[in-house]
Structures are given as C-alpha cells and as structure tokens.
Amino acid sequence: MKKIIVFASGSGSNAENIIKHFAKTKIAKVVSVFTNNASAKVIERAKNHQIPVEIFSKTELLERNLLQKIQEIDPDLIVLAGFLLKFPDHIIEQYPHKIINIHPALLPNYGGKGMYGMHIHRAIVNNKEKETGISIHYVNEHYDEGGIIFQKNVLLTEEDTPETVAEKIHELEQKYFPEIISRLLEG
C-alpha cells in the first residue's frame, strides 16, 4: 500500500476528505499530517481518524530535520491541501514529481504569493470573471508554477459572491482531489 503525507495549514476539510477516501481503498493510506499551525483544525480532524500529526515551525520547515522526518516515512506522494507556506527547495529536490498542490483557481490566473482562499475568490468576483475552477499541479520552486496535472472549471454568474465562489470551489476540490491523487498513485 502506498503512503501519502498531507501538509495543511487550516481547517483541513480537504485533508480529511483525502483521509476518508483512502481509508476505503487498497491503493494508499494517509500515514501522517504535517502542519505549521498548532491551532489548525486539521489536527483534530487527523486525530479523529487516528492519523499521526507533525506540528512544525516555519524555521523547522526550512531546516533539514523536517526532511529527515519525511524521509523516515518514505512517502509515495506528498499532498499540499491548504498549506500556505512556500515549500522548500531541498524537499522538492528529494521528491521530484511526488509533491502536488491544489489551487482554488484556474492557473496561471490568480496564482502566486498571497493568492489563496478568499483573496482569490474576491479578486475573481471583482474582476467579473465568467468562470473559475481548481488546478492540481506539481510543486516546484515557485508559487503555483509547477506543471498542471488537472483543471476543472465552474461557470459563474453575476450574482456570485466570494462566498458562493468558495462553495463552488470547495465542491470541486472535494470531488476531484482524491480522484486525481488515486490516478497519480495508480499510474
């Protein structure tokens, strides 16, 4: 069975969705959740599923000791699910094409530093975009610039608000993220 590590910084709804999805398969298992936020709801969600949690600081992320903990687990895939820090080059170099991220917009639009969550949804509504979506991509040394693995769009209306856009994006994330992870691990 393949091993997945999930990195998350916030509520962890995508992380929990991935945990639940793979608990029902023989493909893979989420073996650990890593977070940089000691008060993140993802900690509680992971513990509810008996998944070990590793809490670390930004400094620890940049140092080699976190890489050592990852290497001890020897994951087949590292999944960033609402992880807000830039992933360090020394970890990316050790796991080429084995680190993926989900972004709540159709990259390359609305990507880059500071573009996450409601910041993106507000910008999309303010710019009167006709559609938005999700992008699942490989992680490289630049924010949101790794190779695109999968994109799915959703149409918007003039009545959409940042909050309704967030709901539409969340539905896409919940449906497609575990499915794409499965495809990558089976491929």
Which residues are designated catalytic? 103
Other CB atoms within a 10 A radius of the CB of residue 22 amount to 21
14 is in an annotated binding site: yes
Residue 23 CB neighbour total at 10 angstroms:
12
Burial of 98 from C-beta contacts in 10 A (0-12 / 13-18 / 19+): middle
Residue 107 backbone class (left: φ over 0; alpha: ψ -120 to 50; beta: rest):
beta
The answer to whether the annotation marks 12 as part of a ligand binding site is: yes
Determine whether the annotation assigns residue 65 to a binding site: no
127 annotated among ligand-binding-site residues:
no
**What are the beta bridge partners of residue 134?**
152
Bind-site residues: 12-14, 101
